[in-house]
């Protein structure tokens, strides 16, 4: 595993308040017989993984929004009603009804 200093990354100190049960779990995974050498390394890995996941999701969302621009819709004469209650990542089916006025 590459160390951050080998990558020439600048490290900053961040103070974070973490609930004690989290600290207990972190301590079980760190130290001489743990998976990580220190709390700091475990937290760096966790934050990195979280950021990669969130950035990937945000990128996919922005790509989706760019690929499917909003079509012009006549809101005065038509109404769109979702077919299901669940939105599957922006892939939602609608029924379109014409508004009838007396």
26-73 pLDDT tens trace: 999 999 989 999 999 999 999 999 988 888 887 777 665 555 455 677
pLDDT band at 92 (very low <50, low <70, confident <90, very high): low
Q: Give dist(CA 92, CA 85) in Å, integer.
A: 9
Residue 4: inside a domain, yes or no? Answer: no
Task: Please tell me the total count of domains within the chain.
Answer: 1
pLDDT of residue 85: 60
Name the residue among 51, 39, 34, 50 with its Cα closest to residue 14: 39
Residue 87: inside a domain, yes or no? Answer: yes
Range of the domain at 62: 20-98
Q: What's the chain's length in residues?
A: 102
- Residue 101 to residues 84, 95, 97, Cα–Cα distance (Å): 27, 19, 13
Residue 55: inside a domain, yes or no? Answer: yes
Residue 48: inside a domain, yes or no? Answer: yes
Q: Please name the residue ranges forming H helices in 1-102.
A: 20-29, 39-67
Q: Counting Cβ atoms within 10 Å, is residue 40 exposed (0-12), middle (13-18) or buried (19+)? A: middle
Task: Compute φ and ψ for 5, nearest 5 degrees.
Answer: -65, -30
Residue 2: inside a domain, yes or no? Answer: no
pLDDT of residue 99: 76
Residue 12: inside a domain, yes or no? Answer: no
Structural contact between residues 29 and 36, judged by C-beta atoms closer than 8 angstroms: yes
Residue 70: inside a domain, yes or no? Answer: yes
Mean local confidence (pLDDT), 6-30 = 89
- Residue 95 predicted with pLDDT over 80: no
The mean of the pLDDT values for the chain is 78
């Amino acid at each position: 595993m590459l160390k951050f200093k080998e990558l020439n990354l600048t490290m900053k100190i961040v103070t974070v308040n973490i609930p004690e049960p989290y600290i207990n779990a972190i301590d079980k995974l760190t130290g001489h017989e743990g998976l990580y050498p220190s709390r700091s390394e475990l937290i760096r890995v966790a934050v990195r993984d979280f950021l990669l996941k969130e950035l990937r999701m945000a990128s996919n969302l922005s790509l989706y929004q760019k690929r499917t621009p909003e079509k012009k819709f006549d809101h005065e004469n038509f109404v769109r009603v979702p077919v299901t209650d669940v939105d599957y990542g922006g892939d939602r089916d609608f029924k379109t009804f014409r508004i009838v006025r007396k």
